[in-house]
Amino acid sequence: MARPDMKDMSLTDADLDFIVGEAPPGAAGAEHLKGLIRSDGAFRKALVGDDRVFQRVMDDEEVFVKISPGLYFEVLLRRALKELDTATHTVERAGRQSIPVFDTREVVDLLSKSEVLLYLAHMLASFTRVHSYATSVRVRRGIRRRVRFSDMDIDSLLRVSATVEEEQRFGFYKRIADVCLFVSGVFPDYPFYDYRYPGSGQVRPLTRGRLRRSLEEYERDGRRFYGLAQRHPTAHVLELAGVFRLLGEHFTSARKPLAFIAAHYLHSQKQRLFVAPTQPA
């Protein structure tokens, strides 16, 4: 499984061309601006978060041909940060109900940390396609077998993570936590309808060979596995331990920006952009 670190969250040349193309008239030369975006976090925040960049991203139907998914979601998250900073509340979904929660300050404080915002942008980008992998696992002494798993399927990730060597577990811990955050943020209705019948609200009977999770269980597992990822030695090598600590400690606040962009900017597009969880009948 891929193991991106903070250094992998840089912008591509095409991303830089796109951003600089929306710079205000009279701005410095393109190459100078690109250098500033690469080297100055505050300058990157100002240009990527500019209203012109956001509007072009929203209006251009071929935007994914021109920029990376990472920049696309960074633009949306920077816009969400601006709007949440002036909002009075966020919204929690519970089945068909929308419940106002007065927690915007906590959400804004978390998303204002650049390392968190960039991690969330690239995490969202990772869900625009789902990968299947095969790995060799130990069955018993001297015997190994090859197993396949999907990086969107928590159950298969859990099964394989329990069988691989400790040094291999970091990627599984990270991905399990990311799936919990992604599903509970972008597809908040899925845990409810996966756990209960949509009409009556009654708890579904457990299907053989399949686990179900409530929203609370997604949050519990997300916190747990970000904690495990944080404590793994690889997190420190990749400079991600601090991000995982924040996401684990503030999991509910971390999913609020994802829910905000899904509701306000993506609308029906999220079904086209992401590989969605499969809804039960």
Query: Which pLDDT tens digits describe the chain residue by residue (281 residues)?
Result: 655 555 557 899 999 999 998 876 666 788 999 999 999 999 999 999 999 999 999 999 899 999 999 999 999 999 999 999 999 999 887 666 778 899 999 999 999 999 999 999 999 999 998 777 766 666 667 666 676 778 888 988 998 888 888 988 999 999 999 999 999 999 988 875 654 444 444 554 545 444 578 889 999 999 999 999 999 999 999 999 999 999 999 999 999 999 999 999 998 788 889 976 754 43
Instruction: Indicate whether 238 belongs to any domain.
Output: yes
Reported pTM:
0.86
Q: Is residue 38 situated within a structural domain? A: yes
Q: Which token pair is 112?
A: 């204002």
Where in the sequence is the domain holding 50, given as residue range(s)?
A: 6-273
Give counts: helices (H), strands (E), the chain. Answer: 16, 4
Would 279 be classed as within a structural domain?
A: no
Cβ proximity of 226 and 185 under 8 Å: no
In eight-state DSSP terms, residue 162 is T
| Total of domains in the chain | 1
d(CA 240, CA 229) in angstroms, rounded, equals 9
Pairing type for strands 132-140 and 143-150 reads antiparallel
**Distance between CA 37 and CA 10 in Å, rounded?**
10
Q: Is 281 a member of any domain?
A: no
Number of Cβ within 10 Å of residue 259's Cβ equals: 20
Beta bridge partners of residue 93, listed in sequence order? 98
Query: Quick check: is 213 in a domain?
Result: yes
Beta strand segments in the chain, E: 90-94, 97-101, 132-140, 143-150
The DSSP code for 150 is: E
Residue at 165 is within a domain: yes
